[in-house]
Structure 1
Amino acid sequence: MRAVILAGGEGRRLRPATLTVPKPLMPLDGIPILHIILTQLKGAGFTHVTLSLGYRAHMIRASFGGNRWSGLELDFSLEQEPLGTAGPLALLPPFEDSTLVMNADLLTDIDFADLWSRHKKSQAAATIALSRQDIDIAHGVVELDDERRVTDFREKPRLSFLASGGIYVLEPSLLRFVPPRGRHDMPALLDRARADGERIEGYVIEGDWRDIGTPEQLDLATATFRADRARYLDRRAAAELYAATSASTGAVGG
């Protein structure tokens, strides 16, 4: 089982912290978020992970100390310029089988093995992991028709929707929709695939999902991970992760 982790972004919303440390190495209770993700993938049965790097790539590579880490085979792909969330796939060798592609800035307790299994049983060219999100509106919401008549009036409603979780399982056939160069994002790639008749399915994450894109989100994710680490890592995996992280800490430099 193979995965590609997109870890090349600059993390502008997390500045000034990311001026010295790339976002994938932002610690949650002392553990880089990328190391947590890799440990989860290993526990789900993944054996080979490609890290797509850009900003401060040398620091991320140094945090692993080589091409094997905690039993995982690693390789690295380097963006010379920002390529978005789909463009980096054009730099990789063609997929030989289904491949999980995900962002490197997520704290989630998604069951990666179940996501993979559901995708493999489907006829889909791609499966998107989705997170249920709710937004409480602080005002009354009014809807009008074309003649400005009020058709609906709801007081402080809660809006619910499914958001892309930045986690996908892709079939090799999807790569033909990736342009050979330039910046391209995953929604545009999947839209092109759908327009061509490819089946795209959704997988709703029943548990927790958070990104760490802002200081507030990072603080919340850190507090959540610290309060209930077993939700994200089993005891043995957590012990191995802390040991691996401690062994590699000295290798990370600015």
Structure 2
Amino acid sequence: MIGLVLAAGAGRRLRPYTDTLPKALVPVDPAGDGSLTVLDLTLKNFAEVGLTEAAIVVGYRKEAVYARKEQLEAKYGLKLTLIDNDKAEEWNNAYSLWCARDVLEHGVILANGDTVHPVSVEKTLLAARGDGRKIILALDTVKNLADEEMKVVTAEGKGVRKITKLMDPADATGEYIGVTLIEAEAAAELADALKATFERDPDLYYEDGYQELVNRGFTVDVAPIGDVKWVEIDNHDDLAKGRDIACQY
């Protein structure tokens, strides 16, 4: 199993940082000097749970990730592979994850490049492996939800029934936080579902690919992460929260 980070996004709501950097390299250290980024935190988590390799899907301002590749490898003891997304500024992340379809065949812990979270999330997903589970989503069942969150409905013994932002928060079981464990045996089916998703509409999310799998009868499981501090960084308010959380990890 290896790590996988989706880091191709532009994050335009985080300008001026993202004038020159991809979203995953926006600084989350309290000083804001770039010594710590979401990508740093995620790679640190991967190393802490024993992974030795990781792949990073890059696109917008990819040269900044290429420039830091050797330094990140040395810092976290990970062999890194960079995967170019040629449509990063045109299409949404269903295509971005599909670009890493060959990596999925190794089994991965997938993390969005804008999610600040503790290593307990990866540990929770690894502990949930087994019993035929092929895809396991990290789920926050504690947070009060609003319109922007990626909401999930589950059913006892059936896993995910619905995953979308377009849902009444009151109907949701919890929020998908952007971290997934994907076993190797799920790779082909997931890749096919992602392809069907972005071919239907290139603006769709990879979570819509998960929904495509569910619609086909594939069981997508969840693992509640408990009451932990995390944030998806979309704007400057989120960035302030991310810096507060990052200094605790």
| Superposed pair shares fold, TM > 0.5 | yes
Unpaired stretches in structure 1, ≥5 consecutive residues: 137-157, 233-254
Higher relative contact order (CA 8 A, sep 6+): 1
Give the TM-score normalised by structure 2. Answer: 0.74
* Contact 2:137–2:223, Cα closer than 8 Å, also in 1: yes
| Structure 1 runs, 4 residues or longer, greater than 4 Å off | 158-161
Where does residue 126 of structure 2 map in the other structure?
Answer: 116
Q: Is 2:181 aligned against 1:169?
A: yes
Q: Is 2:215 aligned against 1:195?
A: yes
Q: Distance in 2 between matches of 1:196 and 1:63?
A: 40
Q: Distance in 1 between matches of 2:130 and 2:229?
A: 24
User: What secondary structure sits across from 1:87 in the alignment?
Assistant: helix
* Contact 1:128–1:164, Cα closer than 8 Å, also in 2: yes
Where does residue 10 of structure 1 map in the other structure?
Answer: 10
* Contact 2:210–2:220, Cα closer than 8 Å, also in 1: yes
User: What secondary structure sits across from 1:198 in the alignment?
Assistant: coil
Q: Which of 43, 52, 63 lines up with 1:38 in the alignment?
A: 43
Within 5 A, what are the aligned runs for 1:1-254? Answer: 1-29=1-29, 30-65=35-70, 68-69=73-74, 70-82=76-88, 83-92=91-100, 93=102, 95-111=104-120, 112-118=122-128, 120-131=129-140, 132-134=142-144, 162-170=174-182, 171-172=186-187, 173-179=189-195, 183=202, 184-206=204-226, 207-226=228-247, 228=248, 232=249
* Contact 1:125–1:198, Cα closer than 8 Å, also in 2: no
Higher strand share: 1
* Contact 2:114–2:232, Cα closer than 8 Å, also in 1: yes
Quote the offset at 1:89 in angstroms: 3.1
* Contact 2:40–2:72, Cα closer than 8 Å, also in 1: no
Q: Distance in 2 between matches of 1:67 and 1:27?
A: 15
* Contact 1:84–1:185, Cα closer than 8 Å, also in 2: yes
Please report the RMSD computed on the Cα atoms of aligned residues, expressed in angstroms: 2.4
Task: Tell me the percent identity.
Answer: 21
Larger Rg: 1
